[in-house]
A and B are shown apart, each in its own frame.
Chain A
């Protein structure tokens, strides 16, 4: 029979114990507080962008955003219209997606379905390393290496071929500047930069598809490619779409590399081969020197557009990736 020691409630030991246990409340309070601050941060960013663009929004209304053939970004006369930047951002991002999607899909298929096991980790890491290179380094390499060696010749080629075709020729009407600074340059560099994002998420989508699907297809006599194309890709389609949207979000917000190679000009053509301007670029270039309040506010309004767009895209992407996870067939019900 053991002697049970009675601990006096006022002893040092029991006071310490009480403190340790009550430490739970402060702890929970602390992590709740910090979490709330994160939420507040997000809201604060949105709020700040909204309020600090107030004058510009009242001055220009919706026409700030709408397509126009008379680009008007005039700090001197305080007249601002954002369409050239919106167009430039959309064009470069969408072309980047156009190129990046098949390449990323190929990479994801290779890594998930074909790659021998020993090669998988190093290759995956190498692809991810593409995303680790800082944006300015991409820009530097772009200006001095990629543009003269690849973009300018490619641009000239496009001008001479697709540029002569009716209708789509407007997108390829040259000439491309000798430096290569153009929307095409920005699109191509963006392509390289978003491939790791799209490939990584798509690869995860493929890896999440249950093996029973592959077995079912191959047991019917399908080749590996037929299985990938006709079973796996349709199965993971919403996840792949989510990956693309995430990549698009990244492309929209990319600043430095784009600024360094796009030419930063508000020409009103829609050609890929001509210099352009994006939303992120104009903020980066002009904010430091904006003098008038309206100029600053117009730039903040552009920031607001960027914020809202990437917010919506992010929501859409997460929703789609979630849908694939939901589709995994449940246990066969009796």
Chain B
């Protein structure tokens, strides 16, 4: 018990010291008339792993996709409130969405490499930004694949198709692809749910490495994973109006041992969801 308190105090202190990378204020997301997310207030600490958990349909992915404005791509989507990254409101009018998406990268639930070579997958982002010199690209590709813990496995196969490797490797390829444009934040939408346990473990280990340099936000329906991997956890649920709400947000170990809200406690102890 004493160890846990000490640990959580340490974490809270770390959070206070670690500035918030992103702050969400009164975020509401509408699809047409339907309100999918309501009144979310949250801060994402820098270079930590924040997990978003909750039963299915509670808006976890909608919240995640608000961070890199991927919700804009769904028709009829309207956003109220603001999300600031180091002071800048991502939803201010006139903001360069393309640049936001570079700075806030995303990895998806199912690996989705392009039907190009492994090299070209990773080089895709840098090429968009006008980097064409072979030596520059080689360096970026190698660095990104190393950061994604994939380099050793495929360094001889760089010109094979990105689809020719296993599922777990494809997912790490997608991570490398996202890393190649040097984002500040990495969003992960259930990144290991389509993978086998061994690949899942590799991804979780990778996340611990990555958080040294990147802020990570992960959505997961796997509570054990959230408990294992994250520093902070946000618990979400659907309210009576079928909108998603943030119920509780705290250090992970508090959420999982002494949650303040009964609904959180019910969820993490498996009583529902």
Using a CB–CB cutoff of 8 Å, the interface residues on chain A facing chain B are 116-117, 210, 212-223, 226, 230-231, 234-235, 327, 329, 331-334
List of B residues within 8 angstroms of A116 by Cβ: 75
What are 12 sample pairs from A and B whose C-beta atoms fall under 8 A apart?
A210-B112, A213-B114, A215-B112, A216-B174, A217-B114, A218-B73, A220-B181, A221-B102, A234-B116, A332-B110, A332-B167, A334-B195
Determine the chain A residues whose CB is within 8 A of the CB of B167 once the complex forms. 331-334
- Nearest CB in chain B: distance from A223 CB, A: 6
Cα A218 to Cα B108 in complex, Å, equals: 12
Q: Are A215 and B70 in contact (CB under 8 A)?
A: yes
Chain A neighbourhood of B115, CB < 8 A:
234-235, 327, 329
Task: Let me know if B108 and A222 touch, CB within 8 A.
Answer: no
Q: Which residue of B lies closest to A237 (CB)?
A: B115
Alpha-carbon separation in the docked complex, A230 to B116 (Å): 10
Separation of A230 and B113 alpha carbons in the complex (Å): 13
How many whole Å from B144's CB to the nearest CB in chain A?
12
Could you tell me if B194 and A219 are in contact, using CB atoms closer than 8 angstroms?
no
Of B99, B100, B108, B166, which one neighbours A216 at CB under 8 angstroms? B108
Does A212 contact B68, Cβ atoms closer than 8 Å? no
Closest 5 CB pairs of A and B: A332-B167, A334-B196, A221-B102, A212-B112, A219-B106
Bound Cα distance A222, B68 (Å): 13
A223 near B98: Cβ-Cβ < 8 Å? yes
CB <8 Å contact, B112 and A334: no
What's the Cα separation between A86 and B171 when bound, in Å? 53
Q: What chain A residues lie within 8 Å of B232 (beta carbons)?
A: none
Tell me the minimal C-beta distance from B94 to chain A in angstroms: 16
Q: Contact: B125 with A221, CB < 8 Å?
A: yes
Q: Which residue of A lies closest to B70 (CB)?
A: A219
A-side contacts of B170, CB under 8 Å:
332
Identify A221's interface contact among B113, B163, B168, B181, CB under 8 A: B181
Q: How many Å from the CB of B64 to the closest CB on chain A? A: 11
Asked if B114 and A219 sit within 8 Å, CB to CB, the answer is no
The answer to whether A220 touches B70 (Cβ under 8 A) is: no
Task: Point out the residue from A212, A216, A220, A333 that lies within 8 Å of B102, measured CB to CB.
Answer: A220
The total number of A-B Cβ pairs within 8 Å is 87
Nearest-CB residue, chain A, relative to B109: A212
B124–A230 contact, CB under 8 A? yes
Query: Which single residue of chain B is at the shortest CB-CB distance from A235?
Result: B115
Asked if B111 is an interface residue, CB under 8 A from chain A, the answer is yes
B166 touches A333 (CB 8 A): yes
Report yes or no: B128 in contact with A221, Cβ–Cβ below 8 A: yes
Across-interface contacts of A331 in B (CB, < 8 A)? 110, 167, 194
CB < 8 Å neighbour of A220 from B110, B111, B177: B177
- Write out, one digit per residue, whether chain B residues 151-180 have a CB within 8 A of any chain A CB (1) or not (0): 000000000000100111011001001100
Q: Please indicate the chain A residues that have their CB under 8 angstroms from the CB of B108 in the complex.
A: 212, 215-216, 219
| Contact partners of A329 in chain B: CB under 8 A | 112-113, 115, 163
Once bound together, how far apart are the Cα atoms of A217 and B181, in whole Å? 12
Q: Does B259 contact A (CB under 8 A)?
A: no
User: Which chain B residues border A221 with CB–CB below 8 Å?
Assistant: 98-102, 125, 128, 181
Q: Does B62 contact A (CB under 8 A)?
A: no
Provide the residues of chain B in CB contact with A327, threshold 8 Å: 115
B70-114, CB under 8 A of A: which get 1 and which 0? Answer: 100101000000000000000000000011111001101011111
B147 at the interface (CB under 8 A from A): no
Q: How far is the CA of A241 from the CA of B100 in the complex (A)?
A: 36
B-side contacts of A212, CB under 8 Å: 108, 110, 112
Cα distance, A210 to B116, chains bound together (Å): 15
A324 to chain B minimum Cβ distance, whole angstroms, is 10
- The reply to whether the CB of B199 lies closer than 8 angstroms to some CB of chain A is yes
Most buried by B among A210, A214, A332: A332
* Complex alpha-carbon distance, A216 and B105, angstroms: 10
Chain B, range 172-220, C-beta contacts under 8 Å to A:
174, 177-178, 181, 194-196, 199
Across the interface, name the chain B residue whose C-beta is closest to A332: B167
In the complex formed, the residue of A with least CB distance to B127 is A230
With a cutoff of 8 Å between Cβ atoms, the chain B residues found around residue A218 in the complex are 70, 73, 101
Given known contacts A234-B115, A332-B194, A334-B195, A219 and B168 CB-to-CB distance under 8 angstroms:
no
Q: Shortest CB–CB separation between residue B245 and chain A, in angstroms? A: 26
Q: Which residues of chain A have C-beta atoms less than 8 A from B171's C-beta? A: 332
Nearest B residue (CB) for A230: B124
Interchain CB contact under 8 A, A334 and B199: yes
A116 to B181 Cα, complex, angstroms: 31
